[in-house]
Amino acid sequence: MALKEIQGKVVKIAGEKTATVVVERRVMHPRYHKIVKRFKKYLIHDESNEANMGDIVKAIECTPISKRKSFKLTQIVTKGVE
């Protein structure tokens, strides 16, 4: 089984050891054949509280930590300005 890996921007620090990440994907509209953006938010587990708002991060799927949190932070790709 392949583990899902996501990459997105941290938009909120949600308490201790949790960050909210927005993942953007671009898809073709079925009727109008135009590229449109689709967004999804994920809660990720940040054990050492190293992610800040505006950072681009990578996270990998893991066993559920809480009701909505089932991804762990693996790497901070770039530091944000915010």
Q: Which CA distances in Å does 18 have to 29, 40, 54, 59, 66?
A: 33, 16, 14, 12, 11
pTM of the model: 0.88
DSSP string of 24-76?
EEEEE-TTT--EEEEEEEEEEE-TT----TT-EEEEEE-S-SSSSEEEEEEEE
- Write the pLDDT tens digit of every residue in 11-38: 999 889 999 999 999 999 999 999 999 9
Structure tokens at 62: 């893991």
Please tell me the distance from the alpha carbon of residue 71 to that of residue 4, in angstroms, as a whole number. 9
pLDDT(70) > 80: yes
Domains detected in the chain: 5-78 (2.40.50.140)
Return the closest-CA partner of residue 5 out of 50, 53, 59. 59
Say what the pLDDT of residue 82 is. Answer: 62
